[in-house]
Amino acid sequence: MNILRLDASMRRQGSVTRALAGKVVGRLGEAGAVQVVHRDLADGLPAIDEAWIGANFTAPEERSAAQRAALGLSDRLVAELKAADVLVIGLPVYNFGMPAALKAWIDQIARARVTFRYTENGPKGLLEGKRAIVVMASGGVEAGSPADFATPYLRHALAFVGITEVEIISAGGQSLRADAVETAEAEIAALAA
């Protein structure tokens, strides 16, 4: 099983999502051999810009060397995602939404004709058959609450590229309930590997 693990917490020490994402990977590894690619988004990703957009909308065979270079990181991120059977995302909620680095990752991998295409019936994701496990944590926002803008957005963005099997494990509302992390750990223990 190939796992792509994305950590979006800017906290390298003491991060609930990093700890729980590690437990998810460990649980999945109980089923047999796993190959893990770890992408730490705290290292930062560049925002897409005009050069990126121009390169992306140029046919691959017509791209200049500069345009190919502009898409180089995006191509590597897409290749990581395409190679994965399971995507494990550590999603801290900052100010009701996802960290900017995770949004930058989505911008880099959502590519027309590469991870989705437009059809007469609307967009169609090209990365079907993958599973995503999202570990969400926050101090005051519960997953699925009216203030949770992060998990619905991420679920929609993943479905847009074809990843519709999305499980949300929530350690949300830690300031509101003392058992938030323990509840998430119990969900991880019960995951089908």
Annotated binding site: 9
Which residues carry a binding-site annotation for FMN?
9
Provide the 3-class DSSP secondary structure of residue 99. Answer: coil
DSSP assignment of 14-34 equals S-HHHHHHHHHHHHHHTTS--
Q: Are strands 116-119 and 122-125 parallel, antiparallel or unpaired?
A: antiparallel
Continuous H helices in 61-148 = 65-70, 72-83, 100-109
- Residues 146 and 23: their CA atoms lie apart, in Å, by 28
Task: Please give the single-letter amino acid code of residue 154.
Answer: L
CA dihedral for 104, 127, 3, 140, sign (positive or negative) = positive
Instruction: Calculate helix-pair angle for 180-189, 16-29, nearest 10 degrees.
Output: 20
